[in-house]
Amino acid sequence: MEKFETVVIGAGPSGCFSSIFAKEKGRKVALIEKNKIIGKKIFLTGNGRCNLTNLNSLDDFIKNYRNGKFLINAFSRFLNTDLINFFEENGLKLKVERGKRVYPLSDNAGDVVKTLRKIIDRRNITLFLKSPVKNIEKEKEFFLVETDKHKILTEKVVIATGGKSFPDTGSDGDGYKWAKKFGHKIYGPFPALCGIEISEKEIVRQWQGVTLKNVEIKACLNNKIIGEEFGEVLFTHYGISGPAVLNLSGDVSENLKKGEITVSINFKPALNYEKLNKRLVREFSANPNKEIKNIFKNLLPKRIINQFLNYCSISGEKKANQITKNERKILVSRLFSFSLTVEKVRNFFDSMVTRGGVYVNEINPKTMESKIVKNLYFAGEIIDFDGKTGGYNLQACFSTGYIAGISQ
């Protein structure tokens, strides 16, 4: 039987950081990973480029998370500039792009993984690869961690196994099993940062490939708003995607079984009703004999006009001088609120992160230690928080991993 002072389960971003900083505290550390390489999921982040973090302030960071208050302490002690310094001091050059997003200069997520592996090797952290954990027991003051090949006795355990998103990378939810075994409750889990499937298949078919920029999208459960986002919406073969939809998807996902959910698109969020109505009046007055479908080329992408007008029950061949006042009101109303019915969200194989996990009120935010079991820690996506796109989720993994590591 092998003995260590700290065992970290899961070699994703949070697990790597937990082991690195526990080792820095002078601990004898083992890092256990079921895959044959560390950081397998990192290769998928940022479309293979790895959006590590962004340069927003602490206050702006917190606003972009569900359960963000839990992360305040971790972010106060290790945030974006700390992460940037860590990687650059270890030889990985970084760059800042639009939206203050930080990427490797090489645009290669693999370089992030290589850097982490180099640090792990340099610090002589014992790394067990291809070693899925089969069982964890607590015996008095020690934990017994068993894999196919090893029995390990340790004083402290960090569970950093991720959630359920992209399960092919190893984050298949097995960490929840260990958390439950030690008395923790699990919220969800639900897919998040994923596409939303829409019931109106004809609209989806006609609009596939269309991108709407600078629009507002809201999700409603039984006509009550449960989330809203501003930005880009992309129509796909199944429904809608794009940054604004991805950020909204978690709110939809966790409410799917509670009733009917609709999403509505505001095509003109920069205008109010009066201004948009006046614009239509001007357009119609200037082009009285022009077909309405041609006038709308100034208002909407060409490919969506026919379906939009059908939705309004107005013929696209109708001339501007034939549009009634009531029809104009309908057009204005639908430009502000084009409603679609949610069928479901994409599954965990197509979701970037997981909503849900170990309840945050059962974890000490200052140390990441369980409030239920002494010397048991959690880090990363296994905890019930999730952020928007833009480097937020990786930063949270690194920060909670750092706190778990220095708390050993």
194 burial type by CB count under 10 A (0-12 exposed, 13-18 middle, 19+ buried): buried
pLDDT of residue 137 exceeding 90, the answer is: yes
Last residue of a domain, one of 292, 312, 339: 339
Are 100 and 149 members of one domain?
Answer: yes
Whether 380 is covered by a domain: the verdict is yes
pLDDT of residue 27: 97
pLDDT of residue 1 exceeding 90, the answer is: no
Are 23 and 105 members of one domain?
Answer: yes
Does the pTM surpass 0.75? The reply is yes
Are 357 and 400 members of one domain?
Answer: yes
Give CA 245 to chain center in angstroms.
11
Whether 346 is covered by a domain: the verdict is no
pLDDT of residue 261 exceeding 90, the answer is: yes
Distance between CA atoms of residues 208 and 202, nearest Å = 10
Q: Rounded to the nearest 5 degrees, what angle is found at the Cα of 311, between the Cα atoms of 255 and 210?
A: 75
Give the domain extent around 225: 193-267
> Alpha helices, DSSP H only, in 123-187?
174-181
Last residue of a domain, one of 212, 241, 267: 267
pLDDT tens, 160-213? 999 999 999 989 999 999 999 999 999 999 999 999 999 999 999 999 999 999
Whether 345 is covered by a domain: the verdict is no
Whether 344 is covered by a domain: the verdict is no
Are 228 and 279 members of one domain?
Answer: no
Are 286 and 249 members of one domain?
Answer: no
Residue 257's CB is within 10 A of a number of other CB atoms, namely 7
What the block records as the tokens of 338 is: 């084009």
Are 389 and 324 members of one domain?
Answer: no
- CB-based contact 332:273 (threshold 8 Å): yes
Are 162 and 245 members of one domain?
Answer: no
What's the number of domains the chain is made of?
A: 3
Distance between CA atoms of residues 41 and 167, nearest Å = 9
Whether 198 is covered by a domain: the verdict is yes
Are 53 and 157 members of one domain?
Answer: yes
Are 124 and 33 members of one domain?
Answer: yes
User: Strand, helix or coil at 272?
Assistant: coil
pLDDT tens, 381-394? 999 999 999 999 99
Are 163 and 79 members of one domain?
Answer: yes
Give CA 37 to chain center in angstroms.
23
Last residue of a domain, one of 314, 339, 364: 339
pLDDT of residue 133 exceeding 90, the answer is: yes
Are 182 and 38 members of one domain?
Answer: yes
CATH code: domain of residue 243: 2.40.30
CATH code: domain of residue 318: 1.10.8
Q: Which residues pair with 154 in a beta bridge?
A: 4, 143
Are 87 and 109 members of one domain?
Answer: yes
Whether 180 is covered by a domain: the verdict is yes
Whether 51 is covered by a domain: the verdict is yes
pLDDT of residue 139 exceeding 90, the answer is: no
